[in-house]
């Protein structure tokens, strides 16, 4: 175990800004990207379901 | 008929869609497990570095992100080339799906490198060979994405993108060997880092675990994006219709 407590852990030996500044952006981007990808997939599925309605009554 | 034909049949969009959908939960589970293990070892087992203090702990995301940025570019160029040469639809879709994730890892490598450079080199940025060539990699990803979205004709867009991706691939060995070929602030290849053996071992373990996590993450998110592109491009086909309930009653999952 490296740390005496939570305070020491977040201080990162004085390099807190640099270490957490790196990890925060990594977590943010790698959290956002799957959400965006999931949204795009849902949109594509919805558009595909709608393509049905556009086509009712006449074949492409 | 022959093996080549069967390979392309297997790589048909509907099959890929179903297969990747089944793999996704496992890939996310692998991402979470490897990341948890890597971060635990990286922060609680690996000791503080004698010269760099705790600032070195950025390595656990910096090096995996930089590796992924280069690897993904080569994989993207490979599939773009396959898609172009054999007119394989799925390969071109995969190439397009890789680009945003590659750009993300390139940005992360630059960002974390900057946050590591400030405390250790005393500067956020320097125009040296390693950093500059990695920045060019980011521009190549962004250029590829802009190019393929700017051309309306899908096939032409894929071909133009493939050409850019293939030509740009020359940059990857330049990035990798830049620390050998030129005098640079950046340290040499990480994997041959020679520190006190015991310390290097736990650091290396954490770094490799994080690399596996990023690898699983890249597979998962690229699969997700490929699945979207498949639906977008095959909107009017019968199998997509069956998927969304347009054809043959209620829609099926995955």
Rounded Cα–Cα distance for residues B49 and B90 (Å): 46
pLDDT recorded at residue B52:
87
Domain membership flag for residue A58: no
Domain membership flag for residue A13: no
Collapse the DSSP code of B49 into the 3-class scheme (helix H, G, I; strand E, B; otherwise coil) and give the result. Answer: strand
Domain membership flag for residue A43: yes
Rounded Cα–Cα distance for residues B34 and B40 (Å): 10
Say how many domains are in chain A.
1
Rounded Cα–Cα distance for residues B156 and B92 (Å): 11
Residue boundaries of the structural domains of chain B: 16-46+57-243
Domain membership flag for residue A42: yes
A46 is in which domain, residue-wise? 23-51
pLDDT recorded at residue B184:
78
pLDDT recorded at residue B117:
93
Query: Which contiguous run of DSSP H or E holds residue B68?
Result: helix B59-86
Residue pair B28/B183 in contact by the 8 Å Cβ criterion: no
Q: Given pLDDT bands bounded at 50, 70 and 90, which one contains residue B20? A: very high
Task: State what percent of residues in chain B have pLDDT above 90.
Answer: 70
pLDDT recorded at residue B191:
64
Name the residue with higher pLDDT: B193 or B66: B66
Instruction: Encode burial over A31-41: b for 16+ CB neighbours within 10 A, e otherwise.
Output: eebbeebeebb
Neighbours of B15 (CB within 10 A): 13
Cβ neighbours of A38 in B, within 8 Å:
224
Domain membership flag for residue A27: yes
Residue pair B93/B229 in contact by the 8 Å Cβ criterion: yes
Collapse the DSSP code of A58 into the 3-class scheme (helix H, G, I; strand E, B; otherwise coil) and give the result. Answer: coil
Segment B192-216 mean pLDDT:
79
Closest chain A residue by Cα to residue B64: A26
pLDDT recorded at residue B136:
97
Does A7 reach chain B within 8 Å, measured CB to CB? no
HSE value, Cβ hemisphere, 13 Å, CA-based, for B253: 2
Segment B178-196 mean pLDDT:
71
Interface test with B, best of A48, A53, A54, A58 (most B CBs within 10 A): A48
Domain membership flag for residue A41: yes
At B93, list the tokens. 């879709």
A-B Cβ pairs (cutoff 8 Å, strict): 104
Q: Ramachandran region of residue A13, left (φ > 0), alpha (ψ -120 to 50) or beta?
A: left
Distances, alpha carbon A54 to alpha carbons A26, A40, A49, B230, in Å: 42, 21, 10, 20
Output the average pLDDT for chain B. 89
Rounded Cα–Cα distance for residues B54 and B34 (Å): 22
pLDDT recorded at residue A3:
85
Provide the 8-state DSSP code for B43. Answer: I
Segment B79-97 mean pLDDT:
95
Segment B107-114 mean pLDDT:
97
Domain membership flag for residue A5: no
Which residues of chain A are under the pLDDT cut of 50? 57-60
B221-235 pLDDT, tens digit per residue, is 999 999 999 999 988
Residue B193 confidence (pLDDT) above 60: no
Q: Given pLDDT bands bounded at 50, 70 and 90, which one contains residue B150? A: very high
Nearest to B168 by CA among B89, B99, B94: B99
Interface test with B, best of A5, A7, A17, A19 (most B CBs within 10 A): A19
Contact B44 A14 (CB under 8 A): no
Taken in order B254, B12, B68, B135, is the CA torsion positive or negative?
negative
Q: Given pLDDT bands bounded at 50, 70 and 90, which one contains residue B198? A: very low
Name the residue with higher pLDDT: B51 or B173: B173
Residue B68 confidence (pLDDT) above 70: yes
Residue B249 confidence (pLDDT) above 60: no
pLDDT recorded at residue B197:
46
Q: What is the ipTM of this complex?
A: 0.87
Domain membership flag for residue A33: yes
Nearest to B132 by CA among B186, B180, B56: B186
Segment B63-82 mean pLDDT:
97
């Amino acid at each position: 175990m490296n740390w005496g407590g939570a305070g020491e852990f977040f201080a990162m030996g004085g390099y807190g800004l640099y270490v957490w500044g790196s990890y925060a952006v990594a977590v943010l981007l790698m959290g956002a990207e799957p959400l965006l990808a999931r949204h795009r997939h849902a949109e594509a599925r919805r558009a595909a379901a709608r393509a049905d309605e556009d086509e009712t009554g006449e074949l492409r | 008929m022959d093996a080549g034909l069967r390979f392309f049949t297997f790589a048909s969009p509907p099959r890929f869609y179903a297969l990747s959908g089944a793999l996704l939960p496992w890939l996310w589970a692998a991402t979470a497990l490897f990341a948890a293990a890597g971060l635990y070892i990286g922060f609680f087992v690996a000791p503080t570095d004698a010269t760099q203090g705790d600032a070195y702990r950025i390595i656990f995301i910096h090096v995996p992100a930089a590796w992924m940025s280069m690897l993904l570019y080569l994989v993207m160029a490979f599939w773009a080339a396959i898609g172009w040469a054999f007119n394989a639809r799925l390969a071109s879709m995969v190439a397009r799906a890789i680009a945003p994730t590659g750009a993300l890892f390139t940005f992360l490598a630059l960002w974390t490198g900057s946050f590591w450079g400030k405390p250790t080199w005393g500067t956020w940025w320097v125009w040296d060979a390693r950093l500059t060539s990695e920045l060019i990699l980011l521009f190549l990803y962004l250029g590829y994405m802009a190019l393929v979205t700017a051309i309306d004709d899908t096939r032409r867009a894929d071909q133009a993108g493939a050409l850019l991706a293939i030509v740009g691939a020359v940059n990857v060995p330049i990035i990798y060997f830049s620390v050998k070929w030129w005098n640079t602030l950046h340290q040499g290849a990480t994997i041959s880092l020679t520190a006190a053996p015991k310390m290097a071992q736990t650091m290396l373990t954490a770094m490799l675990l994080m690399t596996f996590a990023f690898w699983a993450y890249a597979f998962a998110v690229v699969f997700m994006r490929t699945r979207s592109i498949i639906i977008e491009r095959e909107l009017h086909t019968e199998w997509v219709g069956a998927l969304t309930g347009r054809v043959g009653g209620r829609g099926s999952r995955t």
